[in-house]
Amino acid sequence: MSSHYLDVAVGLSYTFLAVSLLCSATREAIASLFQTRAKVLLDGVLTMLHESAVKPRVRGIVPSLLRLFRREGGFRLDKLGDQSLTAEVMRHPLISGMAQRGRLPSYIPSAIFARAFVATLTTRYGKGQTAAALLNAIGNEGLTRTLLAIMGEGPDDVAALENAVRIWYDTVMERISGWYKRRSQFVLFLIGLFYACAMNIDALQLSQRLWTDSTLTAQVVQKAEAVKPATPPAGAPPLEQAKQAGAQAQALQALPIGWPSARFDGVGSVGKFALALSFALIGWIATAFAASLGSPFWFDGIGWLLALRGTGAKPAAETTAPPAVVVALPSLRK
């Protein structure tokens, strides 16, 4: 393959890596400010305890603003009703003690949740009862049948119930993690589209510029060879995440992007402007889609392209085992 083709591919990959890092830092800052993970966890618990019908009660702009300013009532547990098992379990000291006042934890170990669940039932209906009696007292047929099915024909005591809750919690949270990842990818796309429009990161125009300007392409490839991507871990302070986003924005400013755009130069008619805008939209959407793939994808892609180009690490001899290489990638906790 021609080296120039690879150089252009490396230059585009480097740009998409910088955009994806900027989008990831922005998404993490938003998730931290609005406590998105804790909200998704609460939705997961409602689903797990077969109370998903009341999810609309905990949604809305007002609770989001309350969570932003860390005010009481941001998760609207009081709106779930006095008989809500979810509200009572989430208020248990084992769980509420894992977060600051007015907040909910973004992660709850399954053992802690199961213990809080069983403790809530025994406080409600009394100790010394069988697991079946406790579950039947709840009056939630879906939850009762689910946990009894997990318990099977084994012991009918609170220890068996606690183990069943732990299994059910892990199963539901695994699905919730998948939902959150898909939602995060969509959010990354929207953030990428915003940055692509605001900073005019047009993938089509950038490709043309890299193809025709060998000097620029060589400079971008040189930057790609020394790239060391890093994003703040999930749960890092919003200020640190904002600083990381600012650093990535500065890195992007050194690339051939931004306004004014040469695509709109000399456009004198409405038809030509519409055509230019259409191509610009295609370029912006392509950039946003690339950003939604995530920084690990582009980091690995750059490494593969550089190795293919001949500037990466030389492969080990066939007679010796290749050394283990550990690459630290940004955290992608959901």
Q: Cis ω on the peptide bond leading into residue 56 (within 30° of 0)?
A: no
What pLDDT does residue 252 have?
64
What pLDDT does residue 228 have?
60
Could you tell me if residue 210 is left (phi over 0), alpha (psi between -120 and 50 degrees) or otherwise beta?
alpha
The pLDDT of residue 279 is above 60: yes
Distance CA 255, CA 244 (A): 18
What pLDDT does residue 246 have?
62
Mean pLDDT of 259-275: 80
Give percent of the chain with pLDDT exceeding 90: 39
Distance CA 24, CA 226 (A): 20
φ/ψ (deg, to 5) at 202: -95, 110
Distance CA 62, CA 73 (A): 10
CB 168 within 8 A of CB 151: no
Q: pLDDT of 139-188, one tens digit each?
A: 999 999 999 999 998 888 999 999 999 999 999 999 988 888 888 999 99
What pLDDT does residue 159 have?
94
Token code pair at residue 207: 């490709």
